[in-house]
C-alpha cells in the first residue's frame, strides 16, 4: 500500500492537478518565455508538494516521531526533490508534446474541412452556372424561330425539356458514365441542327470501351456549345464539329473539334465567357493535377482536348 500510494496515487493526483491548471491557464495566450516560466514554477511547486506529502505519509504510516524530520539532511532533500522535479518535467514535456499533436491534428482537420466545404461550394457554383448559360442561348434560338417556323420551335422546346430533365436528374451526381453524358449532348446537338439546318454538320465517334467510364456531369456541354457558337463566327459554312473519345495511358481522352479559328474572349461578339473557364475550374476542383485541358488552333481548325483519369463505378 505504501508503494502504491507513494509511486502511483500521489503522482497521479499531482499530475492531474497540473493538467487541470494548464487547461485553465490557457498557455497559448502567453509568450514562449512566460510559458517556460509558468511550467517551471508549477513543476517546482508540485515537486515540493509531492515530497512533503510523501514524507508526511511515510512518518504516519510507519509511526515515526515527527522529530525525525530534523534528521533529513539538505543533501538528501535536494537529491529527492531534484529527482521528483526531473520526473515531473518529463511528464510535462510528454503532456505538451501529446497536447500539441492533438491540437495540430485538430487544426489540420479543421483546415481540411474548410477547404473541402469551400471546394464543395465552388463546385455547386460551377454546376449551377451551366443551366442558366444553356437556357440563355436556347431561349434565344427558340425566340428566333417561334414566328418563322413554329414547328421547329416546338421541336427545340421538346429537346430542351429532355435536356433539362437530365440536369435535374443528375445535378447532384459527382460522376456519371460517358454514355449518358453523350446522350445529354445529343439533345443540344439536335437543337442546333434544327436551328442551323444545312449550315451545321456534327460527327460523333466514341470508342465503345470508353462509354462506361465516369466523368463529371455536364462537363462536355460548355465545350460543344463553345465550338458551335464561336465556330459559326469564324468558320466557312457548313460548320463542322466532331466529338471523339479514346483511351490512352490509363486516361480517358475526349476531343471536341470544330472548323474555324479560336476567338479570344476579348474579341467575341456575344458570350458570357464562362464556358471554357468553367470547364478548366471544374477539372482542377475534381482532379487537381491528375487531369488535362488543352486547346489547339491551327489550319482553320480548333481542337479542345480533355484528359481525365479513368474511373468506374
Q: What angle do CA 308, 309, 311 make, to 5 degrees?
A: 115
Which pLDDT value is given to residue 306? 92
H/E segment holding residue 300: none
- Distance CA(259)–CA(301), nearest Å, equals 4
Report the pLDDT averaged over residues 213-238: 86
Which pLDDT value is given to residue 274? 61
- Confidence class for position 302, pLDDT limits 50, 70, 90: very high
Which pLDDT value is given to residue 304? 93
The proportion of the chain whose per-residue pLDDT surpasses 90, expressed as a percent, equals 19
In order, the DSSP letters of 232-255 are HHHSPSSEEEEEEEEEETTEEEEE
Give me the residues paired with residue 293 across strands: 306
Which pLDDT value is given to residue 3? 81
- Residue 300 pLDDT greater than 90, yes or no: no
Higher-confidence residue of 241 and 146: namely 241
Q: Tell me the torsion sign for CA atoms 150, 151, 156, 162.
A: positive
Report the pLDDT averaged over residues 29-48: 85
Q: Which residues, including other chains, have CB under 8 Å from residue 207's CB and lie 6 or more apart? A: 245, 246, 247
- Residue 212 pLDDT greater than 60, yes or no: yes
- Confidence class for position 195, pLDDT limits 50, 70, 90: confident
Q: What is the pLDDT of residues 251-289, one digit of tens each?
A: 999 999 999 888 765 455 544 456 787 788 888 878 888
- Residue 116 pLDDT greater than 80, yes or no: no
Q: Tell me the torsion sign for CA atoms 167, 253, 199, 186.
A: negative
Average pLDDT, the chain: 82
- Confidence class for position 143, pLDDT limits 50, 70, 90: confident
- Residue 129 pLDDT greater than 70, yes or no: no
Which pLDDT value is given to residue 154? 85
Which pLDDT value is given to residue 137? 64
- Residue 108 pLDDT greater than 80, yes or no: yes
Amino acid at each position: 500500500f505504501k508503494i502504491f500510494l507513494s509511486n502511483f496515487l500521489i503522482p497521479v493526483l499531482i499530475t492531474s492537478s497540473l493538467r487541470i491548471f494548464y487547461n485553465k491557464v490557457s498557455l497559448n495566450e502567453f509568450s514562449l518565455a512566460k510559458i517556460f516560466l509558468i511550467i517551471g514554477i508549477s513543476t517546482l511547486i508540485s515537486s515540493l508538494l509531492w515530497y512533503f506529502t510523501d514524507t508526511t505519509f511515510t512518518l504516519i504510516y510507519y509511526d515515526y516521531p515527527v522529530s525525525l524530520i530534523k534528521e533529513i539532511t539538505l543533501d538528501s532533500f535536494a537529491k529527492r526533490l531534484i529527482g521528483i522535479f526531473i520526473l515531473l518535467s518529463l511528464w510535462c514535456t510528454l503532456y505538451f508534446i501529446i497536447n500539441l499533436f492533438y491540437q495540430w491534428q485538430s487544426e489540420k482537420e479543421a483546415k481540411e474541412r474548410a477547404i473541402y466545404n469551400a471546394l464543395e461550394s465552388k463546385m455547386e457554383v460551377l454546376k449551377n452556372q451551366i443551366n442558366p448559360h444553356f437556357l440563355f442561348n436556347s431561349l434565344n434560338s427558340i425566340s428566333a424561330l417561334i414566328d418563322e417556323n413554329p414547328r421547329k420551335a416546338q421541336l427545340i422546346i421538346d429537346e430542351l425539356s429532355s435536356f433539362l430533365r437530365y440536369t435535374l436528374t443528375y445535378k447532384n451526381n459527382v460522376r456519371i458514365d460517358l454514355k449518358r453524358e453523350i446522350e445529354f449532348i445529343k439533345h443540344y446537338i439536335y437543337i442546333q441542327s434544327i436551328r442551323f439546318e444545312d449550315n451545321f454538320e456534327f460527327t460523333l465517334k466514341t470508342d465503345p470501351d470508353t462509354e462506361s467510364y465516369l466523368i463529371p456531369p455536364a462537363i462536355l456541354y460548355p465545350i460543344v456549345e463553345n465550338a458551335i457558337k464561336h465556330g459559326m463566327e469564324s468558320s466557312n459554312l457548313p460548320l463542322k464539329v466532331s466529338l471523339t473519345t479514346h483511351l490512352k495511358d490509363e486516361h480517358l481522352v475526349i476531343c471536341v473539334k470544330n472548323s474555324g479559328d479560336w476567338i479570344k474572349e476579348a474579341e467575341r461578339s456575344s458570350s458570357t465567357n464562362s464556358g471554357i473557364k468553367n470547364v478548366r475550374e471544374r477539372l482542377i476542383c475534381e482532379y487537381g493535377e491528375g487531369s488535362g485541358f488543352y486547346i489547339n488552333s491551327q489550319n482553320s481548325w480548333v481542337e479542345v482536348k480533355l484528359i481525365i483519369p479513368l474511373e468506374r463505378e
